[in-house]
Amino acid sequence: MTIGPTPLESGVVRFASVSGPAVAATVSEGKYGAQLPAGKYTVTVEATSPPGGNSGTSDDRSTTKALAKIPEKYKSGVSIDIAGPNPALDFDLSK
């Protein structure tokens, strides 16, 4: 998961299924893991402070900058259709 060429340092990606339970995964250095069966999902992405980040630190400012760069469509939800198990879901959040 990247914002242009830069991996999203820390965040959460959520896959809300129309026919089953939602799945959330932690993003760290642009990577996340989620087991998703075939189906239709609404995907949302949120930037978070890295573990150990403190209020007012440069980590918080970089999180704010990352969140500002994530397009609104990923904050409010993008519809995707997964055809098979374990797809390679690579998101470029700058698009």
Predicted local confidence at residue 30, as pLDDT: 92
Q: What is the dihedral of CA 89, 82, 23, 67, to 10 degrees?
A: 40
Answer yes or no: is 60 within a domain: yes
* Span 14-67, pLDDT tens digits: 999 988 889 999 999 999 998 888 889 999 999 887 766 554 555 556 555 665
Q: What is the dihedral of CA 53, 35, 13, 33, to 10 degrees?
A: 40
Predicted local confidence at residue 29, as pLDDT: 92
Answer yes or no: is 93 within a domain: no
- Residue 47 is part of which domain span? 2-82
Answer yes or no: is 92 within a domain: no
| Token representation of residue 77 | 């939800």
- Total domains present in the chain: 1
